[in-house]
Amino acid sequence: MVARASGELKISWTNNVLTISDARLPGGKLEVWYLEAFCRSGAWARDWRQTTLAHTTTLTWADPAGQHLKFRTAVEPNIQVLHEIDVADDGLELRFELVNQGKEPVDLQWFEPACIRVENFTDCQQSNYSARSLFLTSRTDCA
């Protein structure tokens, strides 16, 4: 059982955008592109369009109080993803169940559940926020 939040945190989803609303957030909300991508193996060695598998997400149920959402995502060729988001104490709990409904294996190695819209946190736009971001890599040299 998920502990319900005592604060103002609420969630909603429309047109592939998850909106997390809370007065404590800059601008009162955080928008997240949900679900971003389902990816084949070898993602770092090829074009993004060749890496990703097409998918379509449908909202199947939304709690009127903004505390719980249920989804079904169809990932080509035959993957079904059932997933839920619950508001929990000062955060969210996400659960995923992926099932291959076909007879053949599918090269689905990993997925990106979220792409966060950061403009309210950086005072920049989605296209140029990296100027105010810290990126860590495995490289030890800066040359």
- Token readout for 63 is 């709690």
Give helix then strand counts, H and E, for the chain. 2, 11
* pLDDT (0 to 100) of residue 3: 45
Q: What are the tokens at 14? A: 């429309």
Determine the length of the chain.
143
pLDDT digits (tens, 9 = 90+) for 15-71: 999 999 999 888 899 999 999 999 999 877 788 888 999 999 999 999 999 999 999
Residues of the chain with pLDDT > 90, as a percent, come to: 60
Q: In the chain, at which residue ranges do the beta strands (DSSP E only) sit?
A: 10-14, 17-21, 29-33, 37-39, 52-53, 55-62, 68-75, 79-88, 91-100, 110-112, 115-116
Which of 27, 23, 109, 16 has the alpha carbon at shortest distance from 69?
A: 16
pTM (two decimals): 0.79
State the Cα–Cα distance between residues 115 and 52, nearest whole angstrom: 15
Domain residue ranges in the chain: 10-132
104-125 pLDDT per residue, tens: 999 999 998 988 877 766 667 7
Q: Across all residues in the chain, what is the average pLDDT? A: 85
